[in-house]
Every structure is written in C-alpha cells, then in structure tokens.
Amino acid sequence: MAACGCYPTGLMAQLREIKNRIGAVNTISRITKTMQMIATAKFTAAGQRAEQSRPYAKMINEMVRQVASNAEDYESPLIDGPPEKVGKDLLLVICSDRGLCGAYNANVLRIANKYRQAETAHTDVVVETAGKKASAYFRFQGVEVSKSYNTGDAPKYEDVEAVAQSYLDRYAAGEFDSIKIVSMRYHSVSRQTADVTQVLPLSQPDAGDSEPQQGPAAVYEFTPTAAELLDTLLPTTVKTLLFQLFMEAAVSEHVMRMIAMKAATDNAKDFGRTLSRQFNRARQGMITTELTEIVSGVAALEG
C-alpha cells in the first residue's frame, strides 16, 4: 500500500513520529534497566559490607560501656566537650557523586540546609562535603565549602579513618565545639532517613543503656587501667561511627537508585505500550482511508 502513494502526507509524518518515539522509549527502557541491575549489584555488595561492620561497631560500643563503668572519674574532651567554647561547629554533608537516585540528595541537602540555617543564628557553622552533589549545591547557594572529600560510592575504611583522624586532631586542638554529620541512615530496603548525627563530642557511655543480663553481672579487671583503655577506645569509636555513617549512606544511595531506575523502567514500558496503541490506531486509520478511496474509485468506474 505504501508504494501506491495513497497515504496522506500528514498521517505518514504522524506514523514516523510515533515510531521514532517508540524507538527512543525502548532505548531509555534498556538504559534504565541496565542501571537498575548495576545498582542492585552495588547495593548487594554494599549491604553485605555494612552488615559485616555492624557487629564490630556494636562490640566497640559495648567495650566502651564496660570500661567506662569502671572509670567513674574519667574525663575526656571527646565525651565532656572542649574546655572552652570557640563558637564554631563543623558540619559534614554526605551526598552522592551522581544523580538518578530518587530523592536521596534532595532529602540530605534539605536537612543539612535546615540545620545550618538554625545553627547559624548563634554559632559559626563550617561546612564540609563528601560527594559532588553536595559541593555543587552549596556553591549554588553561595555557601562556602571548607573542604570536600572524595570517598566514592564504595568508601574504604582507610579513607574514612584519615578523615576521622583529622577531625579528632582538629577537635582536640580546640578548632570546633562539635562535629556533626548529615547523611542518609539505612534502616531497610523500604526506609531510609536523612539525619544529623553528632560524632564529637561522643554521648556519655552509660552501662544502664545495655540490655539486662541474665544471672550475676560479670566483673572485669583491666590492665592497663580503664582510663588508659578509654584513651584508645574513644578515638576508635569515632572512626568506627564515621565509617558506619559513610557505609549506610552508600547503601542508601544504591537502594534508592535501584528503586528509582525500576520505576523509570516500568514507566518507560507503560509509555511504550501507549505509543504502540497510538501507532496501531493511526495505521488502521490509514488503511481504512485507503480502502474507502479504493471502494469509491471502483464504484465511480462502475457507474
């Protein structure tokens, strides 16, 4: 039928446009499906790493609690805060390097900006970032970024430990009153929340926070002394906590990208089916028009 040249030019153009859009939507669907599979693989790997690090973090906290219960007179700026306030806080904002991960970056940046504006009224907030999206956002807002870290979407303990050691040194030197982290906390595949976590000073360890034990309480003798052990354990706790925050942020990024790409793939498939129906209707309309013209021509010849 196409060879006879009976199709109206407008209908042919409409068919070509719909066919091109179908091809574009199918291409987008394949891309988003691939990104979904990559995000799923990264989420699985990051989730396993996060699960493996949690028992270590839990054990460190338990050790600190046990040792602290035997060092009642122990004092440390890591727990009690700096002896003199300088009126300056450090805020580290952890975002992703890439987009296409749903509301991940938007939620983190909204909480960070809200906290910064509230604290700026009575203290100087120094902003540091991890992730290109956070750096770009604060530059756009005209907020100075003191330092940016590049840990990627699979943070290594060595890199995070270097950041934590820098914070410990700067905090001990009296540069900041507190250090807080704004990041996405991972709870489950269906729930991730953006929170502000205080890294320094640490919350006071309290033996009463632990779960009640069955039977008589264990009695420990510490060598070296409990105070000397805490001098080592507290910096380790800070490093472990910061690494856990980076890990949970990475897991949250991957799972939210996985969900976003699945939704995009499903939407592309639905839109592709809609375009296919439009294409079929337009083609049927063209065939009906040509048949009508043929029948009319035959009737005219017979008449």
Q: pLDDT digits over 263-291, tens only?
A: 999 999 999 999 999 998 888 888 888 88
pLDDT, tens only, 156-211: 999 999 999 999 999 999 999 999 999 999 998 889 999 999 999 987 554 444 45
Two tokens at 46? 């990051």
Please tell me the pTM assigned to this model. 0.82
Higher pLDDT, 302 or 187: 187
Q: Among 43, 18, 13, which Cα is nearest to 190's?
A: 43
Per the domain annotation, does 35 fall within a domain?
Answer: no
| Span 25-45, pLDDT tens digits | 999 999 999 999 999 999 999
Strand order in the sheet with 124-130: 145-149, 124-130, 88-94, 178-188, 191-200
- Judge whether 111 lies within some domain: yes
Is 66 part of a structural domain of the chain? yes
Cα(257)–Cα(99) distance, rounded to whole angstroms? 8
Residue 283 domain flag: no
178-188/191-200 β-pairing: antiparallel
As a whole number of angstroms, the distance between CA 37 and CA 191 comes to 20
In a domain, 271, yes or no: no
Which one has a higher pLDDT value, 82 or 182?
A: 182
Q: Residues near 162 by Cβ (< 8 Å), separated by ≥ 6? A: none
pLDDT digits (tens, 9 = 90+) for 96-108: 999 999 999 999 9
Cβ-count burial 218-257 (b if 16+ within 10 Å, e if not)? eeeeeeeebbebbeebbbebbbbbbbbbbbbbbbbbbbbb
Strands 178-188 vs 88-94: parallel, antiparallel or unpaired: parallel
The overall average pLDDT reported for the chain is 86
What pLDDT is attached to residue 152? Answer: 86
**Sign, Cα dihedral of 280, 283, 284, 285:** positive
Distance CA 296, CA 292 (A): 6
pLDDT in tens, 90-133: 999 999 999 999 999 999 999 999 999 999 888 999 999 999 99
Cis peptide bond upstream of 224, omega within 30? yes
Residue 276 in any domain: the answer is no
Q: Which structure tokens are listed for 143? A: 């907020």
Is 222's pLDDT higher than 70?
Answer: no
Question: Residue 10 and residue 18: Cα distance in Å, rounded?
Answer: 12
E runs forming strands in the chain: 88-94, 124-130, 145-149, 178-188, 191-200
Give the sign of the dihedral formed by CA 164, CA 168, CA 173, CA 177: positive
Give the three-state DSSP class for 214. Answer: coil
Tell me, what CATH number does 165's domain have?
3.40.1380.10
CB 233 within 8 A of CB 63: yes
Contact 94, 245 (CB under 8 A): yes
Instruction: Print the domain residue range for 103.
Output: 53-204+222-258
Residue 85 falls inside a structural domain: yes
**What is residue 181's predicted lDDT score, i.e. its pLDDT?**
96
Q: Tell me if the bond preceding 201 is cis, omega within 30° of 0.
A: yes
Counting the structural domains of the chain, the total is 1
- pLDDT value at position 219? 55
- Ranking 141-145, 211-215, 230-234, 242-246 by mean pLDDT, the lowest is 211-215
* In-domain check, residue 238: yes
pLDDT band at 232, cuts 50/70/90? confident
CA–CA dist 131, 296 (Å, integer): 69
